[in-house]
Each structure stands twice: as C-alpha cells, then as structure tokens.
Structure 1
Amino acid sequence: MAMNLPSSRGKGRRAPMADINVTPLVDVMLVLLIIFMVTAPLLTAGVPVNLPDSRAKPLDQEQEPVSVAIDDAGRLFVGEEEVTDETLPDMLAQIAASGEDGQPPQVLLRADRGLDYGRVMRVMGELNRAGLNRVALVTGVGEGE
C-alpha cells in the first residue's frame, strides 16, 4: 500500500501547493456584493442643492402637451375647443404635423370615469392612427369612492 507521505528527500523543501483556497475569495465577493446592494440605491437619489443665479437664458423646453378631454356626456375637446368625431382625425393629423424636430407632441388624455370604455378606446385609436403615440392618461390624485 502506497501512501502519499512527505518524503525524506530534500528535507526542508516542499512541493508547491497546486490548489487554491476559494473560501476567502467567496467571502470577499459576498461582502462586496452586499456593499454594492446597499449603496446602489443611494447613488440614484439626488441631493438638494440651492443653485446660484445665472444670467444665461433658459434652454428651450419641449412644447406643451396637447390636452384631449372627454366629458361625462361624451363630448370631445381638444384643448378648449369642442370637436366632433368627424373632425377629430383631421385635427389630430394637424397636431401630429406640428411637432418639433419630427417628434409629435405628448397628449394628455382625460376622460370621465362614468364613460363607456369603448368611447375612450376609439379616441385612443384615433390618436394612434394620427401618429400621436406619446399618450398619458390623466387621473385624479387622491380621489376615491
């Protein structure tokens, strides 16, 4: 029976160890993972800063969003102007063409909660067909039944 015993040849010289102890490496990596998981959310939060005044003119902002509203009677309004179902596609095409830099403006769609779901979907379909794809549905904040 042969056993792998330290040989008496070269007393004091050892053969190099060929395997790596992975346990300390795993411990360090887990600690780093925990540190990054804790600090990552802190990196996205902004710090309140009181900015100084400047004489530079403000940058051009995006154009104002277009407001489309449907009241409880089903009447349709683009901005403050009442629109019929027949004239809606033409008006939406004009709005889509008036976008800056080839981007159509954002549309804020407000609809009464008592309306038929199909009525709202028809208006959204017309918006999509006109190329107005940036539609935000406006809801009441804190209003509950």
Structure 2
Amino acid sequence: MAFDQTPSGTDAISQINVTPLVDVMLVLLIIFMVTAPILQQGVAVDLPKVAAGPLSGQEEQLVVNVGKGGQVFLNDTPMTADALTEKLRAIAATRPDRQLYVRADQSVPYGQVMRVMGAVHDAGLARVGLVTEPPPPDRRR
C-alpha cells in the first residue's frame, strides 16, 4: 500500500540550477566594469581638491573646460578664445542669468584660467562657478 503516486525514477527536481545565472551576472559585471570608464564624458582634466559640497541644478550645464595643454572646450567642443567669447555672447543675449562652470586642469597656469574667465566676463555672463574635486579623506585619526 504505497501512497506515492509517481513512478519510481521520475521524481521532480526540486532545485534550480543557478550556475548559468551566476555566469551571466559575472559577464555583465565585467562588461559594466570595462565600459564604465569609457562612458565618463568630457575632457580629461585633473581637478584641484577642495572641501565643498556639490551644487544642484536641473538645466543643461554650460561647461568651459581648460585642458592640460591650454586647449579650451565649450561643452566638449574645441574653441579658440575669440570663438568662445562670441558663442558665450550669443548665449548671454538669450539668457544673461545663465550659470556657467569652468573646469580647469590643476596644472594649467593661473593666467590661462583667468583669460578664460575674462572671456566669460566679456561675453556678459556673471554667474560663474569653478569645478573642483573633494580632497581624499584624512586617514590620520
């Protein structure tokens, strides 16, 4: 008198094989780790370290980058100083209260950054922010 209704040898497998799932997840992790540095946008600059909080904003950012060699970019578009001033004048004509951020490599001479700031001022934009990175945490405790 057996209460088992299934014939012997056809017991249902009660475990799910997770090995293929783990394999797929590890492949996705590797893909994201490889592509994450590529997705970082903009010109590579080594920003100075400053202890200050980030600014919040919802509109598209207007960023002037100054690279290590002194190259100037407006939102990743290379520009000369005159072209930068003209483009910023056109922007200031439509929105004079527009916020602009300057990202400059810390190895760029101060005079070069001030020339860019002068071009921004000549264009009529007064709301200018300098982009920095937070310093590494102090390990001495």
TM-score when normalising by structure 2:
0.52
Q: Does 1:67 align with 2:58?
A: no
Are the structure 2 counterparts of residues 98 and 62 from structure 1 closer, same or farther at C-alpha, using a change threshold of 3 Å?
farther
Q: Residue 119 of structure 2 aligns with which residue?
A: 126
Alignment partner for residue 82 of structure 1, among 61, 73, 78?
78
Give the residue type in structure 2 aligned to 1:134.
R
Q: Residue 135 of structure 1 aligns with which residue?
A: 128
The answer (yes or no) to whether the contact 1:98–1:104 under 8 Å persists in 2 is no
Distance in 2 (CA, whole Å) between partners of 1:79 and 1:141 is 22
- 1:120 counterpart SS class: helix
Q: Does 1:110 align with 2:103?
A: yes
The answer (yes or no) to whether the contact 2:81–2:119 under 8 Å persists in 1 is no
Render the CA deviation track for 1:10-62: whole Å, top value 9, x for unaligned: xxxxxxxxxxxxxxxxxxxxxxxxxxxxxxxxxxxxxxxxxxxxxxxxxxx86
Q: Residue 92 of structure 1 aligns with which residue?
A: 88
Q: Which runs of no fewer than 5 residues in structure 2 stay unpaired?
A: 1-56
Please tell me the root mean square deviation across aligned C-alpha atoms, in Å: 1.9
- 1:77 counterpart SS class: strand
Work out the percentage of aligned pairs sharing the same amino acid: 37
The answer (yes or no) to whether the contact 2:66–2:104 under 8 Å persists in 1 is yes
Give the residue type in structure 1 aligned to 2:82.
E
Larger RCO (alpha carbons 8 Å, 6+ apart) = 2
Distance in 2 (CA, whole Å) between partners of 1:114 and 1:143 is 18
TM-score when normalising by structure 1:
0.51
Give the residue type in structure 1 aligned to 2:122.
R
Are the structure 2 counterparts of residues 143 and 122 from structure 1 closer, same or farther at C-alpha, using a change threshold of 3 Å?
farther
The answer (yes or no) to whether the contact 1:70–1:76 under 8 Å persists in 2 is yes
